[in-house]
Amino acid sequence: MTINTVNTSSLSPILEGQHNFRDLGGLPAGNGFVTRQRMIYRSGDLSSITDKDIAVLGNIGLIRIIDFRSERERMKRPNRLIPSVREILHISINDSSREKAVEYIARNDAAALEDLLINDYRRIIRENQEEYRQFLRELAFSPHLPVVFHCAAGKDRTGLAAVFLLTALGVDFDSVFDDYIASVMHNAALTAKLIHKINARGHNGETIRPLLEVKKEYLDAALAEIRENQGDLYGFVVNNLQADIARLQERFLEPSTSPR
């Protein structure tokens, strides 16, 4: 596994208004299987998608959205209406770290921001297991597919959801990590834009980079919380999150078409 790098060949954006929207299909899951394509997507919020994007989502048959954002976030940046979507499920996971982030940004304290995210990943593991249980249960049994799950930027709450789902599907950890860290590149243009805007106001925009990107250290913190209190990652997904492994794999794996 190459730390903090991704395969850039898969980074062509599907949507114009949300570059972190991507298909979780095609990942190797062992025994000649890969994750099923055009069934499960992960994303940032869908508030800035274009009319063309809405047509794209209709063409891929998207009929369900799982939104991890808080009510405050949803009110601030409501998703655009997508006619093909039949159901929107809100599984709110608190973004309390963002409130403290404002203080650290004002102090120009990038190190404190990074520590904030590290501690927040640990908090999510401790406090939001029921929300991720519901997420995995919905994917296992809901008839409404294809589905996209997302938070605000599609990197932290969504990133952990993808880690748990891909682990349940038998994807090796290197591939799970590659998907997690890929948000850095998918969000690169937006990150650069926000940093430039802060620099233009006479402040140090680089201060907020830890808040805008994912890092190995963030995921390591979540995994450490799991190891210290719950066991290994797979055991956590099965025992704590109660993933129905057989059902998920039956629904979301397909034979690989690549030659061995």
Q: What is the rounded distance in angstroms from the CA atom of residue 39 to the CA atom of residue 146?
A: 4
What pLDDT, on a 0 to 100 scale, did the predictor assign at position 8? 37
Half-sphere exposure in the Cβ direction for 205 (13 Å, CA): 14
Pair of tokens at residue 200: 């233009």
Q: What is the rounded distance in angstroms from the CA atom of residue 82 to the CA atom of residue 62?
A: 9
Q: How does DSSP classify residue 96? A: T
Pair of tokens at residue 232: 């290994």
Q: Is the pTM higher than 0.85?
A: yes
What pLDDT, on a 0 to 100 scale, did the predictor assign at position 259? 55
Q: What is the set of domains in the chain, with CATH numbers?
A: 15-247 (3.90.190.10)
Whether residue 146 has a cis bond before it, omega within 30° of 0: yes
253-255 β-sheet, strand order: 28-30, 33-35, 253-255
- From first to last of its 260 residues, the chain has per-residue pLDDT tens of 333 333 433 557 899 999 999 999 999 999 999 999 999 999 999 999 999 999 999 999 999 999 999 999 999 999 999 999 999 999 999 887 776 777 777 787 788 888 999 999 999 999 999 999 999 999 999 999 999 999 999 999 999 999 999 999 999 999 999 999 999 999 999 999 999 988 898 878 888 898 899 999 999 999 999 999 889 999 999 999 999 999 999 999 999 986 54
